[in-house]
Amino acid sequence: MRASPILISLVLLGASLARCTWRPATAADVAGEMQSLVGAKDGEVSIRSIVAEGNVLVITIDGPPGWRQSMPSYAITAHIVDRVCETPKASRYFEQGRLLRIDSTDSGAHPVHGLPMDHCPPPSTNPVNG
């Protein structure tokens, strides 16, 4: 039995549309999927917002006045990125050139922008001294 030219055309059209509509998730797609986390708390620190700026996923965390005094911005970013990278599915976020930036505020004021990260750091090979 031979396929009709119309059926072949529909199959080819469907295949071409599938290629056109499939694309890797963008930072905006990921931010949209993560909106349910806004407001989540870890002690006194909460997620204030999750947005995309181009291909950068920006997570802003907020805490009480002075909470960042003992922790520089890079340490906050490193802590969160380490937690993200422990999860195999989440660690794939950096594929396709997406970046992650952790910003922070003190009670909604004094924003500090973290450095954008483009990969998971390698696992530490140094023993932990107790």
**Coil, strand or helix at 16:** helix
Structure tokens that stand for 62 in this block: 């907020």
Q: Is residue 79 part of a domain?
A: yes
Total domains present in the chain: 1
Q: Is residue 14 part of a domain?
A: no
Task: Check which CATH number belongs to the domain holding 45 and give it.
Answer: 3.30.300.250
Q: Is residue 112 part of a domain?
A: yes
- Are the C-beta atoms of residues 76 and 104 closer than 8 Å to each other? yes
Q: Is residue 17 part of a domain?
A: no
Q: Is residue 107 part of a domain?
A: yes
Q: Tell me: the pLDDT tens digits for 34-72?
A: 888 899 888 888 889 999 999 999 999 999 999 888 788
- DSSP H/E element including 104: strand 99-106
Containing structural domain, residue 116: 25-130
Q: Is residue 15 part of a domain?
A: no
- pTM (2 d.p.): 0.74
Q: Where are the beta strands (DSSP E) in 17-70?
A: 41-42, 45-53, 56-63
Q: What percent of the chain has pLDDT over 70?
A: 76
